[in-house]
Structure 1
């Protein structure tokens, strides 16, 4: 982590020195989660709040270690916990974008059947529940929240890429 923070310090300084106008420097949370970065300022060891030019990128997945074997209820609880972090107005965390999230849970791929369907009603219901929970959790809904929005990592894009790759 010390090497990563040193990199963020050097990169932030280079970007800010080269900027012709106001810019935001985006750093990844290194899968430590947003709370780890509360009060973080790459250019100061004594900061008690994040600078206004810094943005944090977090990726929220439930298909990889250590979360791939969580029961569905625990996944939903984790999503609710992340929502509290993203919507807290007192966290001292830089603005956050959920740069990646998906409907994968368990060992991927978690879908069955063909691309034309083949999913059970139970699996479709889980996908919808998981989607709606994450959509609500990662979307900003008030002023002064760290949350700045999200990007969805679509399984279809990944599956199509892998299919074309294997064909070569």
Structure 2
């Protein structure tokens, strides 16, 4: 990772790695490997975010929360209490002096679904979660935008209103493949949307980062819409209209694509790099480092076909955003 110009990794971990509800089906044992990963990062000069990626009851209804099509995180006191207990365990271990040379962020929760949650209760969780982390040290506190509009959280944990709040980072995740409308955009539209992110989010109150983005221009990656679900792109999911074949995407077969297609991927990657390093946006993390079955979401596979620039500052399509 360091060889390719990266300097930090965001490591997701589920609540069940630390605590279980009585009826949970999950296995444990992940903390040992989280510790190893942080040790490897430290050894190689990489910084780390520890990201609480899932909560009891599920915070968004997506597979990545551990339970699909249910958003019950806020529905019981048991769920809420267990979340604070897990956060306390994370903060007490990784947010203190033992790890302050390598851990540069604790993310309170990944992708809470603002359209399905009580946002006042989510804000309450952000405030209380901040206090939990601060009880043990100075690690920056990361909050996710909950898919709300830019500036929605400007007054939450605002240092100007209350100086006790500091080192709060807003996390954005950006993709353009999870609706039929996004998938119908041409490459110029994809680039423009990406460039606009660099302007609008650079004007938010909090320092922010885009800790999830990809090279994807389709939703053809296997199970990206959920286990046993197809793709909007080839009309095997949601049935809103066929846009193209997914042949080759599942195995990442670069040979099936033309030079123009590769140029489009490179343009899109470069536009996002420009946007996420512009103005007040303080950086990015690509989702994900390596995949087994698709190139669009794999940093390493995109490196192999010269879609990820090397060095990262190299541009085949300079000044797309006009910043």
Q: TM-score, normalised by structure 2?
A: 0.40
Give the 3 Å change call, closer, same or farther, for CA 66–11 of structure 1 in structure 2.
Answer: farther
Give the 3 Å change call, closer, same or farther, for CA 152–26 of structure 1 in structure 2.
Answer: same
- CA root-mean-square deviation: 2.9
TM alignment of 1:38-117, pairs within 5 A: 38-41=154-157, 47=161, 51-65=165-179, 68-72=182-186, 73-88=188-203, 91=204, 93-109=205-221, 112-113=247-248, 115-117=252-254
Assess if the C-alpha contact under 8 Å between 1:57 and 1:97 holds in 2: yes
Structure with greater contact order relative to length (CA < 8 Å, sep ≥ 6)? 1
Aligned equivalent of 2:265: 127
| Structure 2, gaps ≥5 residues long | 1-118, 222-232, 234-245, 295-323
Find the residue that maps to 2:133 and give its secondary structure: helix
Aligned equivalent of 2:128: 10
State the alpha-carbon separation in 1 of the partners of residues 198 and 208 from structure 2: 11
Assess if the C-alpha contact under 8 Å between 2:209 and 2:283 holds in 1: yes
State the alpha-carbon separation in 1 of the partners of residues 219 and 142 from structure 2: 30
State the alpha-carbon separation in 2 of the partners of residues 15 and 32 from structure 1: 24
1:149 paired residue among 258, 261, 283: 283
- The structure with the greater share of residues assigned to helix is 1
Instruction: State yes or no: 1:139 paired with 2:273.
Output: no
Give the 3 Å change call, closer, same or farther, for CA 106–123 of structure 1 in structure 2.
Answer: same
CA positional deviation for 1:29:
0.9
State the alpha-carbon separation in 1 of the partners of residues 258 and 206 from structure 2: 41
Assess if the C-alpha contact under 8 Å between 2:212 and 2:284 holds in 1: yes
Q: TM-score, normalised by structure 1?
A: 0.73
Query: Which of structure 1's runs of 4+ aligned residues deviate more than 6 A?
Result: none
CA positional deviation for 1:36:
1.8
